[in-house]
Structure 1
């Protein structure tokens, strides 16, 4: 009987010891999730960079990479980089994901803009990917797919909302 109790005690000790090795400590889940999210955000930006200089065309098909409009670009990048399906247009994209404040932007967040910094309308007409370090990755007009500065520019003045998908 003593031998049986000793074996059970040893096995329980090993089981608890192994659980402690495998199970993360409290709070470590957040660290692991942050690293996972950062890796996905880096992949989104790297995928978007592959299209730098690709011409802009309003209404571009989601099935081409020869030209993009702003929302077909974000849709393609998220699908290729992380397998995330986004709606086709910027207004529909702005209704998905998790709302994020401008002061809490993280790499990979989508930022939504109105047409003009002077208008009071909040009608979304443009979407960009926050690339970190005060840069957005997007496509519009003559530059096509490009990086632009966000804070302190007309882009920031046109900000309507941001959403997190990662």
Structure 2
């Protein structure tokens, strides 16, 4: 019985020490800073899908504190609306910031119609048409939001392989 009480006391002591460590971290630290070194300005709304651990690009009137690049992603488009995996993350520096989507069909027997994730003036995610055909470059409204790019698309029939960033 002494061993169980000693073990219980040790576990309680460890739990108290751990909770002291957790409460020592500022409550907003996760929203403004992360292990990838990305600092999010206080005027930026963080979308649920934001991934700070991947590629991060800053758009808008950026003072140059962050920069980045979006690598190409592959996306298969079929006759049923389907979504891509996440692309790079974007931090919109101000309310008029726009994110750029570039895409092109690299294989397949049909031309796709593509939409890109964007944000409206109330910081809610929306889908902006990026046109149909063999490829386009288009800016979409982003605003002061930290979010992660995503596409969706479909074909009239058949399939298309799309490269995008």
- TM-score normalised by length of structure 1: 0.30
Determine which structure has the larger strand proportion and give its number: 2
Determine which structure has the larger helix proportion and give its number: 1
Task: Indicate the structure whose relative CO is greater, using CA pairs within 8 Å and at least 6 residues apart.
Answer: 2
